[in-house]
Amino acid sequence: MAEHKINILVIDDEKNIRLTLRDILEDDGHAVMEAGSGEDGLEVIKKQSLHLVLLDVQLPGIDGIETLKKIREMDESLDVIMISGHATVGTAVDALRIGAYDFLEKPLSLARVKLAIRNLAEKQSLTNQSVLVKQTQKDKYQLVGNSPQMETVLETARRVGPTQAKVLIRGESGTGKELVAHAIHAASERAEESFVKFNAAAIPTELVESELFGHEKGAFTGAVGQKKGKIEMANGGTLFLDEIGDMGLSAQAKILRVLEDGKFERVGGTQTHSVDIRLLAATNKPLEEMVKEGRFREDLFYRLNVVPIQLPPLREREGDIRILLKHFLNFYAAELSMPLKSFSRDSMNMLCDYAFPGNIRELRNLVERLYILSPNAEIDIAEVKPHLTQMSSSEGDAAIFNDTRPFAEAKRMFEERFLGSQLKQHAGNISRTAKSLGMQQSNLSRKLKELGLGKS
């Protein structure tokens, strides 16, 4: 039996050839249809989903070459293998030029036919897998959400994408800053070139410059050969500097030079190299304060902050949690090759009411975990709740009560979480929330405005 089963149409005016081909191809597990003329074959193509056409050159009515031309007009992705007992070299060349996949001569070698179809079926399978992988990758980096805040972010990314402007993407950890960078790259003239990510927080300080700019052989202990850095890898494309607030002053100075004149040297080298890159940066650090403290270069900050994009935390994106949950349910079904799962109504409501202190990263990881651990097609509230309780205590309350921080900051964190939760319980109604808390509505409105949780 053939490994990959496909739907095949045989167009030949000789009935015996059609029957012979049908027998051997069906024995290999393929689905086979027949047509005795080009006109009849074109009608079948209109109505059926096909992977391959075996097409005779000499046919009554329109011949095989004309039929091939019409097939290409109808569906240029449909593969066609031409067969003929009287074709010249010129005919074969014409058929291949028009788009035929192969050309087989009569009398047909059944082994040759089976080999050609096996090769074609494997090619189509690999193509389909490649398309699926590309689509999965596209879904992986897709910005999802229709809240007003995300509409603003998406519109800014679309506008700035085609330009060469530097962009500084800011927001809490896990809000999707890398996704915004991918969206800008995809909207740029460099979309077909490399997108290279460098995370300054993930690399030991002493290795940042080597990883970013590359090094020459012998530049330091362990440098046994020349190595290109991320900047050279991104030449012609986009370099995304994630967590740039964690980059040391020396590396900052060298990045500034790249931005100013496109020049750099590898660590341990004297030769100057030129690059053409689009630079995007992201951080969750307060760069303005770091500039005042001398921990971040002011000139670099202003060079990067040409177009600022502020990503809101997930808790402030009204309605997006439900959309993101459905998106990741579909994504992980494809990514993990598992049947599509869903959340029960109660579990979905619980998730939509959850603050997600870890933002989109936490939500995505939760969906993946539940896909793997839950044996059910519908994930119920009993399966969801333990994960939320565990994460809430470890990442939310514990952070307020156990981490050492200024009292004013801890107080603000508590007020944000407590008042945000109370507001949600009263469907955003400030009057009812104030009454339940024993507060004056005006005082609550002022406090919510101060915390960025409501409108005055």
DSSP state of 227: B
Residue 216, C-beta contacts closer than 8 angstroms, at least 6 positions apart: 223, 226, 266, 267, 268, 269
- To which H or E segment does residue 105 belong? strand 102-105
Do 279 and 215 have their domain in common?
A: yes
Grouping H, G, I as helix, E, B as strand and the rest as coil, residue 7 is: strand
Structure tokens at 20: 């012979």
Identify the domain boundary among 255, 284, 312: 312
For 159-181, the pLDDT digits (tens) are 999 999 999 999 998 999 999 99
d(CA 160, CA 166): 9
- To which H or E segment does residue 279 belong? strand 278-283
For 248-288, the pLDDT digits (tens) are 999 999 999 999 999 999 998 888 999 999 999 999 999 99
Chain length of the chain: 456
Instruction: Give the pLDDT score at 128.
Output: 57
Instruction: Give the pLDDT score at 10.
Output: 93
Instruction: Give the pLDDT score at 296.
Output: 96
Do 229 and 377 have their domain in common?
A: no
Host domain of residue 404: 315-451
- To which H or E segment does residue 273 belong? strand 272-274
Please check whether residue 2 lies inside any domain of the structure.
no
Do 11 and 37 have their domain in common?
A: yes
The whole-model pTM stands at 0.58
Q: Are strands 272-274 and 263-265 parallel, antiparallel or unpaired?
A: antiparallel
For 296-307, the pLDDT digits (tens) are 999 999 999 999
Instruction: Give the pLDDT score at 401.
Output: 59
d(CA 265, CA 268): 8
**Domains held by the chain: number:** 3
The CATH number of the domain where 287 resides is what?
3.40.50.300
Average pLDDT over residues 238-255: 94
Is 382 or 92 the better-scoring residue by pLDDT?
382
For 86-102, the pLDDT digits (tens) are 766 777 788 888 888 88
Name the nearest CA neighbour of 1 among 109, 80, 117.
117
Instruction: Give the pLDDT score at 134.
Output: 47
Contact 294, 304 (CB under 8 A): no
Do 128 and 263 have their domain in common?
A: no
Please check whether residue 224 lies inside any domain of the structure.
yes
Please check whether residue 26 lies inside any domain of the structure.
yes
